[in-house]
Amino acid sequence: MILIDRPLVVTDTETTGLSAANNRIIEIAATRLHDGEEPLSFSELIDPGQPISYRITRLTGITTAMVFGRPGAADVIPEYESFLGDAIIVAHNLSFDRGFINAERARIGLDPMKNAGLCTVRLARRLLPGLRSKSLAALARFFRIPDHGRHRALRDVEITVAVLERLMIIAAEKHNVTELDELLEMQSRTYARINPYAKHIVYLRGDVLPKVPDEPGVYRMLDGRKRVLYVGKAKLLSRRVRSYFNAIEAHPPRIRQLIAKVRDISWTETKTELEALLLESRQIREFDPPFNRAQKRTTRRPYIRIGKDSPFPRITSHVFPRDDGALYFGPFRSRGQARSIVDVIERFFKIATCDEREFARGQRCMRAEIGRCGAPCEKLVSREAYSEEIERIISFLQGDVAEVQDRLREDMESAAASLAFEDAARLRDLHVLIEGLLERHGRIAPEIFGDDAIILHRAADEETVTAIAIRSGLFQGSLLISGSDTESTSNDVQVFVRNVFDPDLSVLDPIGDADQIRVLMHWLSAHRDEIERLDYNEFESNASLVDAIVSLSAIHCVQ
């Protein structure tokens, strides 16, 4: 709940009509609320000096006889003023009650009230915008508050107190309001307007933003309870975080809502933007922040699976890799893309596609009849020969596509010559797909649990080269290389390579971190024109890999 550090006096009036100038108060009631104190109540009938109409009697149950001889406003209003003191006056439709009280005060020679006010109608409009009516009766029904005895001042005060408590819970839980001043400010603003001089913004600008470093990293926006509202990454933390608090009114509505709730900012520095990107992905899954809608949507990237649980494994596409001993290649952009590559494999490589039950029948299928399967079900293909075919498929996925592309072109030309234009278009699309994958990744798809490499990256606006280590398809670390001191660089690279590819060192769990693989592959694709890849298995030793890294880094640093 919001801390009530100043007294609130919830007030209601019953009147002879709607005009403060022409009508009078016939009943006033109030309840005083303050943290740490028992609620106190005040209630008085007032003789208005004029008859009460039948319509008002039907509504309130108050008759002229009930108020005849009661104290007048000149006696009751000063008593109410003493009860109110310097508290914040709260009412449902505050302008109505305040208007009548001030009109009575003016008649007895008192100045208008100067107390701060809180209107539960205005608060409900901001906290419950989807509720059609914000009347006290509608809010009582919405919150399931018994509303018997309404239109008597003290009972209406009791209902208003219950409504206020529920609105404060919504403000605290949904909008991270922790102080009474914030609640008072909320009633008079919309999300489209954020006061740039609000206390939390002044604090963040003055005390937090100057401390944000000029480094890559991940920043976290926190609410008043230190819950993470948003996780973001930046190439330059200081510039990115400050941008939220410049020209606030120009931000989209969702960003303005975020800024209205932020009470603190924390960050983690990283060596590179890629490390920030990977850390951002992990922390979004860890903290589940409410304002990271797009990043929280887990994109199911499919993989091609080559099974190892059978001497004659099938080639299939799977959404998630599993720890089942199979080989997984990917991820691909879509299921359709992965399915197309599987179609190419089934077209040009003689592999079985039947399941275990069909295979156990020992009868050849249509694929075997047309020469696209060697019929291992009839024992016409040995395990060794089938394994060689699987190795050819693996080579194809790793970039050996010349033979397949030539056959695709031949089949496409043949289909076009036979006027089978739909088949020709399909073959053309497969050819283009393979060319595109090869151009972006240097292969159709890497084996995600066996991809070991050093990636050298140098952005156009940087003077250093970043060596990025990948082991089992996962990012393992990075090293900034300046290229100026060759001997020192060689020592650093040597330690870096040894620490990453030491067979005794464990790596992150590829199965549990498939999303990290997706993020890494996306980054490599986006920066493909700025990177140079050194596959670990293509070097005879760590020493030869170190020499290649040092020499290539020196060349890139000079450029």
Strand segments, DSSP code E, in 252-311 are 264-269, 303-306
Please give the structure tokens belonging to residue 288. Answer: 């589940």
Q: Which residues of 225-236 are buried (b: 16+ CB within 10 A; e: fewer)?
A: eeebbbbbbbee
HSE-up of residue 15 (Cα within 13 Å, Cβ side):
19
User: Coil, strand or helix: which one is 319?
Assistant: coil
CA distances from 411 to 347, 388, 408, 418, 421 (A): 11, 24, 5, 10, 12
34 noted as active-site residue: no
Residue for token pair 């275990």: 356
Closest CA to 498 of 549, 446, 554: 549
Q: Using CA of residue 410, residue 416, residue 420, residue 421, what is the dihedral sign?
A: positive
Indicate left, alpha or beta for 472 from its phi (over 0: left) and psi (-120 to 50: alpha). Answer: left
Indicate left, alpha or beta for 135 from its phi (over 0: left) and psi (-120 to 50: alpha). Answer: beta
CA distances from 482 to 17, 458, 459, 467, 475 (A): 83, 11, 13, 11, 21
Active-site position among 34, 148, 151, 527: 151
**Amino acid found at 100:** F
* Catalytically active residues, by annotation: 151
